[in-house]
Amino acid sequence: MSTRWTTDDVWALAPDPSSRKAAVKTAAPAQWSGAGHRPADGAAAPAVWGDCAGSGKTPYRVMAELSTPPAYRCSCPSRKTPCKHALALLHLWAEGGVEPGEPPEHVAEWLTRRAAAHKRTAASADPAAAARRAEQREERVAAGLAELDLWLRDQVEAGLAAARDDGYRRLDSMAARLVDAQAGRLADRVRDLSRLGTARDWPDRILGEYALLHLLAGAYQRRGDLPADLRATVLSRAGLPASADESAPVRDTWHVLGLCDFPAGQVRGRRVWLRGAVSGRTAALVSFAPSGQTPHTPVHPGTAVDADLAFYPAEWRADVVAVHARRPADPPVGASADAALRSYSDALAADPWLEAWPVVLADAVPVRADPWLVADSAGRALPLLPECSPCWPLAAVCGGSPATIAGEWTPQGLRPLAVWDSAGRFAALDRSVPARLSADV
């Protein structure tokens, strides 16, 4: 996130449309007093504060620390985070309506407590102790995956009909054991198997997921013999924590292709797909937030950002280190349907558990069928996901003319995320994913 946010950065934090609408009204300068902001200073994150007049005699005290992710505090009774007052204050600041200054005592105390908490967290990070904890967790996850593999064999021997008829009880029991083994990411994936029973091709879908889980369990048990990149992928898929390598950030002009919201257990996730104009690298920015809150979104579809990205080991997942500039983007370079499938094939070879991959189709048009298709200029077509068909917004933007269409390719079809019409105008499409096996990238 850049030091000076844009209004798009602010509205991306809104937990729901009603919060944004209320914040617009609350952002009237006449309602605010004592507003100020502290620019970034060395290790200290920038901050903004102010008092907002409400219905009572005492104004609401609002403050925000603009770290990554941001933190907010407001004396209002709202349970939403951020509340409309925090959104309004950030909007005023992004628009240049808040002057720099020294924080008042109550703001300074809050910022001091947060800084002390950050220092305590950093001081408790003993490398030797952390290494021991990581090794112990790997062993616990290994035991959980060994049990998962036995459970998968039992499911196949019992038959797929049993998995469909009495699946949730069995799945929830296995998922609970994986949670005990500190493999929470796998536990969510096992629970999501219950949702496949309603698909038209449910036997193929369930058996395919069983096979992928079996492959992961076997790969994890032999992780010491795997190449470094594949080993890192296996550890990540099993849910072992990893950090982005900020020592070697990749600077490029990144085209933001689209974003997609997805359920991830009890939280809400968001992935944003980027492609480097010079490096050609693909990046996925993945963030999570509790239910009712909006995941952090540092960049927005339809733009190009000059930014430094730090990538995770052997992953397309990355974090934004710094944003130097941003602008509206021309349509990204697209390809044919065959080229899109080849790029997915290459990505799948590196990560067999990949569930979604960004593709950009050039000179493409939607075709009405069951399900709908997206066809390129050579007549080669990719089917849309059944839950995305029909896609009338896509048809409306294209208007029968070829367009540049960006989306996620999945084993079940294409999820359109964004489109640039024949005149180069950008439109975002439906970005939500039904509750299904969608939490991984």
Residues 114-125 pLDDT 10s: 888 777 766 665
Nearest partner of 257 among 313, 198, 195, 334, judged by Cα: 334
Block residue for tokens 């193929």: 204
pLDDT tens digits for range 246-298: 888 999 999 999 999 887 766 788 999 999 999 999 999 998 887 777 788 88
Record the tokens describing residue 31, joined without a space. 């309602």
d(CA 267, CA 294): 10
Task: Confirm whether 439 is domain-assigned.
Answer: no
Domain match, 118 and 134 both: no
Domain final residue, candidates 85, 107, 123: 123
Task: Confirm whether 386 is domain-assigned.
Answer: yes
Task: Confirm whether 174 is domain-assigned.
Answer: yes
Q: What is the pLDDT of residue 96?
A: 84
d(CA 249, CA 275): 15
Mean pLDDT of the chain: 87
Torsion angle defined by CA atoms of residues 87, 92, 93 and 99, in that order, rounded to the nearest 10 degrees: -140
Task: Confirm whether 19 is domain-assigned.
Answer: yes
Block residue for tokens 């072992």: 240
d(CA 305, CA 302): 10
Domain final residue, candidates 177, 206, 237: 237
**Cα separations in angstroms, 224 against 221, 231, 232, 413:** 8, 8, 11, 35
Q: Higher-confidence residue: 44 or 147?
A: 147
pLDDT tens digits for range 342-365: 999 999 999 999 989 999 999 999
Task: Confirm whether 437 is domain-assigned.
Answer: no
d(CA 419, CA 257): 9
**Cα separations in angstroms, 336 against 359, 405, 422:** 10, 11, 16
Asked if the bond preceding 290 is cis, omega within 30° of 0, the reply is: no
Domain final residue, candidates 203, 237, 271: 237
The range of the structural domain enclosing residue 224 comes to: 127-237
Whether 49 shows a pLDDT value over 80: the answer reads yes
